[in-house]
Structures are given as structure tokens and as C-alpha cells.
Amino acid sequence: MSNRTLRVNELIQRELSDILRKRYQSEAVTITISAVSTAPDLRDCRVHVSVVGDPDFAGQKLRWLRKKERDLRQELGRRIILKYMPKFTFALDTSTARGNRILGILDELEEKAEKPKD
């Protein structure tokens, strides 16, 4: 991945987070933009989103983001000057939930190891 693509990814992530925080404060309070992956030609962009809540709620927020994609692209186009404004594909980032599950398993193993054997 080129240096330019990395900078564009970081810029899009920062600006999208700011747009959600300022314009859609009440709807987007549980949404975090965890990562952005832009194609080398800057025409497509995968936005990894982390949502606090159960899977049904996360699905609702993902659908809401897909409905707001056009508005988000327009606002991002006003803030960032690029030859091509990428089209967004929103994907749910489950790495936090997986990490919490692994930590829980490790805690259980540690508790079992600390118990004295009879």
C-alpha cells in the first residue's frame, strides 16, 4: 500500500468520524469508524464500523449508514479535495467482540489454574 493511500485512508477516517459526530450526533453515538481501506485507484472504499450493542442493533446502524452514504460522500467531498470521491462499502468490524471473547476465555483459564487441586 502506498504512502498516499495510507494518508487518504487516515484522512477519510478522521473526516467521516467528525461528520458523524457533528451532523448525526444522536443517531451515530454508538458508531465508531475503526478503519478505512481505500482501493489504489481511490474509487472504492471499505469503511470498517464498530457498533456498541447487540447484533440486531448493529445491523440497524449498518443499514442506517448505507442510507446516509450519499450525504456522507457529499459532505466529505466538501471537506476533502480528491479527483475521485470513493464509493463507500460499510462493513461491521467484529474484532472488538472477538477480542473480548478471547480475553474472557483467558480469564477463565487463569481462574481454573489458580484453584487448588484436591
Task: Give the CATH fold of the 3-114 domain.
Answer: GMP Synthetase; Chain A, domain 3 (3.30.300)
Task: Give the model confidence (pLDDT) of 11-25 as tens digits.
Answer: 999 999 999 999 988
- Record the pTM: 0.77
Helix (H, G, I), strand (E, B) or coil at 50: strand
Over the Cα atoms of the chain, what is R_g?
18
Please tell me the predicted confidence (pLDDT) of residue 118.
57
Say how many C-beta atoms besides its own lie within 10 A of residue 34's C-beta: 16
Element at 56 (helix H, strand E):
helix 55-67
Q: Where are the domains of the chain?
A: 3-114
Does the pLDDT of residue 46 top 90, yes or no?
Answer: yes
Tell me which range, 2-6, 23-27, 45-49, is most confidently predicted by mean pLDDT. 45-49
Sheet of strand 87-92, all strands in order from the earlier edge strand to the far edge: 31-38, 44-51, 87-92
